[in-house]
Amino acid sequence: MKKQDSPIDIDLWQNGLPNTNGMEAQGYDDKKNNFKPSIRVYLPKASQQPARAVFICPGGGYGHLAMAHEGYDWAPFFNEQGIAAIVLKYRMPNGNREVPMSDAYEAIRYAKEHASEWNINPDCIGIMGFSAGAHLASTVATHASEELRPAFQILFYPVISMESKYGHGGSCRQFLGERATEELKKEFSNEYQVDSLTPRAFIALSDDDRGVVPMNSIRYYSALKEKEIPAAMYIYPSGGHGWGMKDSFKFRNEMLMELKAWLMTF
């Protein structure tokens, strides 16, 4: 397969959207956080063996997207490991949880359909997310049908819970709406949704994160271990919330080395 000279940009839902967040009539405009659902595919250098791939879901409280340091900036790191990086630009839920979920599922379906063309292994596609994007990633990891469930998950300072005690209030309101029932909150508190099909996980966060409390990660890690799912969790002493690929994150080099080492374990 020829090496791609530049990323491949693909619009999702070219035959029409399956649902709405009520914003489409305004016209897509990234500056207004009205995102056109799409993926940007960064393929590694050509190899004889099909590559692994990872979907990247930027965060932003389900209200905006940090497309650079929680998205595009990660492509070189994965490509250097021989892994395809696919950055997902998903629509904001605006109270309709089905909107970002369906965008993620469609992106995975599309990648599997084009796996041969892109020289990726359709059975080795993982998902990664940051903050609310990590809630979307963990939702896919715990709620997707078996054929769309990812092979692994990478979660940075993740929103896991929708419950008021641990959850991030803004993400919950955006994802579930203002009047979500306790039953619905529990359904999308993903520490309760781990099962034997949940993929292995890498989790990284800062101890002093006040945006999304560390108990989100701890409870998810505990749920994974109860089901004997392989998982690694790294809690850095400082850094707060939202560091992604930023050079200003004090433990950036350590985090990248630990992620690289984890990716070599399977």
Tens of pLDDT, residue by residue over 147-167, are 999 999 999 999 999 998 887
Q: State how far Cα 171 lies from the chain centre.
A: 14
pLDDT at position 30? 96
pLDDT at position 165? 84
Angle at which helices 169-176 and 132-143 pack, to 10 degrees?
50
Q: Which of 78, 84, 90, 73 is nearest to 33 (CA)?
A: 90
pLDDT at position 188? 96
Q: What is the pLDDT of residues 30-50, one digit of tens each?
A: 999 999 999 999 999 988 899
Q: What is the pLDDT of residues 162-219, one digit of tens each?
A: 998 887 788 989 999 988 999 999 999 999 999 999 999 999 999 999 999 999 999 9
* 87 backbone dihedrals φ, ψ, rounded to 5°: -90, 125
pLDDT at position 164? 82
Amino acid at 65: L
Q: Rounded CA gap, 218 and 88, in Å? A: 26
CATH 3.40.50.1820 fits 8-263, yes or no: yes
